[in-house]
Structure 1
Amino acid sequence: MPTNSESLDIQDDDLEDPKPDLASSEHQKEIIEKDFVPHFLPTYRIKSSLYPIPVIIAVVIAGLLAYLTFFVAEFQVDESYFPEDEFGALGVVLNGIIFTIIAAISAFTIIFLMRRLGMGVLKYIFGLSFGFVSFFITLMFLDVIIFLIFVQFPETQIVFNFYFLFANIYSPALSVIVVFLLIYSYFTSKSIKTKNFIVLYISFLVSASMSIILPFWSTLAILIGISLWDIFAVLYKRGPIKAMIDIVSDNDDESGPSKDEVEERIKSGEGVYDTSKLEIGIGDLAFYSLLTSSVLLFTNNIIIVILTTVAILIGTGITISGLKRNRILPGLPISIFMGIGTFAICQLIVTFFI
């Protein structure tokens, strides 16, 4: 979860240009801008004070899609590498480990390609991945919505014919159009609002679909595993996310103090990083809303979901506060662990006292 003020000022004419001055100070400390973040990286860009907005939007829409699919349309499947019913707790742990390993392999593969082919390869990796994933998930939820609409009508031949047309022709065609516009905008648009929409759209689609498909306890194991991996990937000196940020920094041609000089100023207390603007990773939004959607489907209790969401927001706020002294921090661990802890406490209270 990096912060980046300059890219916001350059690419969005609607935002005020604060013209930051490195010589200015906050509480007599130098405000140091962070590295430029390329526009094609899948991050949601927003002022730090408004960080709850994209999280809440992703949580609400993902939860609504998951609820309609799971409870109303009664589309209920459990798909995992090791079924919980058969393997029990061992299956839960193994599912978490497998998904974490897949994430690690993917991250190191991306870094390898970046070093071999250049930073620009990321644009095509993310673009093609977004297109592939968003097509099938968009089609799935369109089918659910079409089903929920037509199920309200009497089962006549005319209704059945219309349902066949919408489900088998119009829905795939609309999915193709949506995905084409999505990917075209991703590759061509320089608008922050467009990019934010794409990141938000994919994040709540992925989280809603995963909450429906994955067993609940395996989902928690996956979230814990991915959060631990996030710590390694961001904070370890050879972590892939840290390496990605370093590669981006090496491609930044702007003149200014070196990375070592900046880090020395931060450590000595002479300066702090500028945290007025924030970049929330697409993975952070997806996993936050995956947790809340899974809790909703498991408990069917909106109060527990709200409290879990509040815990996630508090955890995100804590992480953001640490960005003044850190160039980048993992966005998942504090929020996910606080969210899971809040769910566990609420579930215990409901089980034993209500």
Structure 2
Amino acid sequence: MTEGFISLLREKATVWKNVLCVVGAAYATKVVISWSWKTLRFVREYFLCRLYSHDIKRFGGWAVVTGAADGIGKAYSQKLAACGYNIVLIDRSHGNLQVTADALALEHGVDVRMIAVEFGADQSIYGKMERQLGDIDVGIIVNNVGVMYDYPNFFLEISHQTLWNLIQVNIAATTFMTHIILPKMLSRGCGAVINISTGAAHRPCPQLAAYTASKIYVQSLSEALHHEYRHKGIVVQCVSPLLVYTQRNRALNPGFFLPHAETFVDHAICTLGRQMHTAGYWPHALQVGALNLLPSSLFNYFANHVNTAMRRIAVRSLKKRQSGTNITDCNPTNSSQTSQHTSSLTNESTNNT
């Protein structure tokens, strides 16, 4: 009786062992196929696309770039002008736009127009821009304009004005500009919409709550529009970079994971029409992929820890600057010069804000 029971258990164990072996082999095969497919897509998206020609000029004759006076927006303007596009530069600073426009016209011999506008203003600005763009046959629009906190911070520490500007610039500007330009593209059956998001928006991020939420909106909008209009000849792409070296973060040292804006755009432009959602630059894609492997709890702990450190450094730096200003104000030997210097700093700070 006992021997028969033991024999039966052994038979059952053998059966379950075989079943588990089959399940394990199937799962391993699935993992291998999945990673192989991801690797092939990665190589195709970031390497193979740079090896064969890409006719970017097929979308039209004009490109509109928002946030075009500096950084990624300026780099896109330079790249598109080099490809033969006439450019409409849109930003809030007319002086910076003029410098960029003169450089583009001189270097590439293209027609350049400028629109100076404050995207944080009310809805009436879009009616004015629609009239200004009325006679232009736009082939590409790059929705690059965006704002962020001065440094990571808790949600309730962010002012109402900052939150309002963030929503108006990061969400409303992309939405309305696309709504203005898209009918022109549909009438020709050809066009490209490039929306700039951020690699930080792949997951909600503590101490960047409203910012990452606004950029997640950009990703969602882009994907939805891609499926709505891809069969009508419209390419909609969302580009989600990590840190790129610009004037805003010039205190950092550019390198392999922190490319110059021109280097980033040179890589990102090759993915247009080939990838709907991209990091644009393959080292950034590796970083995002590594972060996405982390469990949510570990990612949130890591993000919160890093952003807390960044906030402390920023607050400490701000206090040092304020302390330095106060010490200078107490110097009786240079009172007139100090007064003039302090006024100058205040005006510059106001303009930057």
- Normalised by the length of structure 2, the TM-score is 0.26
The answer to which structure has the higher strand fraction is 2
The answer to which structure has the higher helix fraction is 1
Higher relative contact order (CA 8 A, sep 6+): 1
- Normalised by the length of structure 1, the TM-score is 0.26
Larger radius of gyration: 2
